[in-house]
Structure formats: C-alpha cells, structure tokens
Amino acid sequence: MQGLGNDFVVFDARVDPLELSPDQVRRIADRRLGVGCDQLIVLESSEAADVKMRIFNADGGEVGACGNASRCIAMLLGGSPRIETSGGMLAGEATAGGATVNLGPLRFGSEDIPLAYAMDTAAMPVGWEELDEPFAVNVGNPHLVFFVADTDAVDLARLGPLIEHDPLFPERINVNIATIEHGAVRLRTWERGAGLTPACGTGACATAVAAIARRLLPSPVEVRQAGGSVTIDWAPGGSVRMTGPAAEVFTGEIDL
C-alpha cells in the first residue's frame, strides 16, 4: 500500500501470528533484494481495538506511529476502525480514496520527545548550521520542525542523519524542514530509520501543529510534500486529525 508515495508492505497476522527478525524486516524492505518499502506493517488481533498495528522502519527497528500507514490501514479495514499502536490508540474513518485518522493527544514535554536534558520545546535554543530554534513534539513518534525560507535549499540528505543521531535525542528524531507559502506548508522530512521519503504523515501533523502553535497559519493546514498533500486539523489542547489519500498497490506472497 502507499500513502502519498510513502510505501508499506502489510502483513495480516490477525489469524496466524507472525514474528519477524530485524534482519527479515531489512531484507523485505530492500528494494533490490526484497519487496521494497519505507515501513513494514504487521496487523495483529487486539482486545482493545479492531486491530493492532505494529510498525517497523526499513532499518529493522520498531516504532510507535506512522501517519500515512495509519490512513492505509483505516482504508483497508473500512468503516471507522479503532487502531491500537504502541504510540497510542488511533481512530480512523475510511473515505473515498483515502482516510481520516485521529492521532490523539500530542506530547510536548522534554521527557516526551525525549531530550537528553530539559528545555523549551516550542523554540529549542539549539541549532545545526543554518537550522536553529526548532519546534519539538511527539505525535506517537518524535519530531523536530524547522521553518526556513526555502526548504529545497537545505541539504537534508546530509543534515538529516546528523540531527537524527545527535546525542540530544537518546531515541533519535525525525527532522522536518518547512516553508510557509501561499497559505500552506511545503515540507521535506528526514525519517528516523528510513531516510528521505516522498511524504511523512506524522511529520505533516507535527509541522502543521508547529505552524498553528507559532501562529504562522490557522487550522486546518494544508501540508504539501513531494508525494502529495494532506490536511491537518488541530486546536491547542485537542487531538490532531489528518485527512489524505491512500491506495492498495498489489497483493502477493513471499517466502520468509
């Protein structure tokens, strides 16, 4: 499946349990040696929701949230499913050609990102070359947001991994570079464990929240990425909702 070009291999393990090693995840995600994907998704049965979604990055590590994958699973299940993740409980609603997902409440504390030491997460007093004073928020996974004059002018392929692995972030970090233009946000994201991708759903949510919190744009916010656009609704103190497309690309079998 894919959402804005962010692509996923989805295993349905609700009946037959499936355990994948990090090496198996890396192999399946490899675009030359396996199927190829940004993230691998395993659906399991849940006592608290309609389904439990486990999310693995292409490097084999398991993470708590993925916005684009959440829309894909909501569309795949249909109706208004509740989706359990290690990052929190999600509420989805399938739409024509996509889905709306309520990602729940956000976390802004230094301990929630987490950071190695406490600081103001709304305008962090840190910087990396031309990128400084980022906004930090946990949307089920941790994000930094930098607002710049031209997102395309930033060498994100070089700075992304430098920031991701900075000791300030003991669990690493997702890095978003955003530009406000024509009443919307243009965004590029370096994803923790996946690198540069055409789109990042939780990155779009984090960036829209940062733009609203800093009073750069009102809600709802359109976030434009290389793979397409999503719309983010959020009010301070409330849950964040993301609406956008999703699609099933193909089904198949693989010998694990």
pLDDT tens track for 79-88:
999 999 988 8
Q: Which residue has the higher pLDDT, 104 or 171?
A: 171
- For the record, the structure tokens of 233 come out as 């609704």
The model's pTM is: 0.90
The reported pLDDT for the residue numbered 65 is 85
- Look up 205 and say whether it is catalytic: no
The reported pLDDT for the residue numbered 113 is 97
What is the share, in percent, of the chain residues with pLDDT greater than 90?
Answer: 93
The reported pLDDT for the residue numbered 182 is 94
Residue from 37, 74, 75 nearest 56 by CA: 37
pLDDT digits (tens, 9 = 90+) for 201-227: 999 999 999 999 999 999 999 999 999
The reported pLDDT for the residue numbered 132 is 96
Can you tell me the distance from the alpha carbon of 253 to that of 236, in angstroms, rounded to the nearest whole number? 45
* Contact between 240 and 231 (Cβ < 8 Å): no
CATH code matching the domain that covers 127-238, chosen among 3.20.20.140, 3.30.379.10, 3.40.1360.10, 3.10.310.10: 3.10.310.10
CATH code for residues 2-104: 3.10.310.10
Residue from 180, 254, 242 nearest 210 by CA: 180
- Look up 200 and say whether it is catalytic: yes
The DSSP call for residue 82 is E
In degrees rounded to 5, what are phi and psi of residue 175? -120, 120
The reported pLDDT for the residue numbered 42 is 98
The DSSP call for residue 153 is G
pLDDT averaged over the chain? 95
* Contact between 173 and 167 (Cβ < 8 Å): no
Beta strand 174-181 with 142-147 is parallel
Beta strand 82-85 with 184-191 is unpaired
The reported pLDDT for the residue numbered 104 is 85
Can you tell me the distance from the alpha carbon of 51 to that of 95, in angstroms, rounded to the nearest whole number? 18
Out of 37, 66, 72, 205, pick the active-site residue: 66
Residue from 65, 69, 61 nearest 99 by CA: 69
The reported pLDDT for the residue numbered 256 is 87
| Angstrom distances, CA of residue 68 to CA of 7, 98, 119, 224 | 9, 10, 30, 14
Instruction: Please list, in sequence order, all residues whose beta carbon lies within 8 angstroms of the beta carbon of residue 19, skipping any fewer than 6 positions away.
Output: none
pLDDT band at 20 (very low <50, low <70, confident <90, very high): very high
The reported pLDDT for the residue numbered 87 is 84
Residues of the chain within CATH 3.10.310.10 domain(s) are 2-104, 127-238
Q: Inform me whether the pLDDT recorded for 144 exceeds 90.
A: yes
